[in-house]
Amino acid sequence: MYNQRIIMTLIAIVCTAVGAQAATVPLLEGYGDTKWGQSKDEVMAAVPDLQDIGGTLYVLRQDGEAGDVVQKIEYTLSEDTLYMVVVYLKMPGAPAAGLDEDGLAFVKAQLDAKYEANQKTLRSAGIRVRADHGTRPAAVDADPIAAR
């Protein structure tokens, strides 16, 4: 089942952006209704229907609706600090078995169109945006500092 999914990973290790930059690149502040650095309680207050998964790196999960492109979103915290969001996608027309190369290419193109002009700003703030096939991405690291 994981091979049919495409994972979009948004990682913020240290977010140093302020003011005008954050206004033009909202991802500098956070993902959706969350902000990088929020505590578990703040994330749970900002995002409805989160499941408390727990774990070494603390995970809160929001499941998508059946048939939706977004299968689930996982918010990962380390030391009670939100530092990573992983969005699991299943594209329409994805093969029943095997990897969805066309879907991955489409998602990567969409991410490039949206974030390519701001990659330098995002990277300097410690934020990476990427898409991978449906296995757990290598960027999910037991030590978030090591991912810098």
Residue type, 19: G
The string of pLDDT tens digits covering residues 46-63 is 998 999 998 888 899 999
pLDDT, greater one: 148 or 102: 102
Mean pLDDT of 66-74: 89
**Of 33, 34, 75, 73, which Cα lies nearest the Cα of 54?**
75
Q: Is the pTM of this model over 0.85?
A: no
**141 or 27, which is more confident:** 27
Query: If you average pLDDT over residues 32-42, what whole number do you get?
Result: 94
**What mean pLDDT comes out for the span 81-90?**
91
Give the bridge partners for 59, in sequence order: 54, 76
Task: Give the lowest-confidence range in 9-13, 46-50, 102-106, 127-131.
Answer: 9-13
Residue 34 and residue 132 in contact, taking contact as beta carbons nearer than 8 Å: no
Token code pair at residue 128: 């990476």
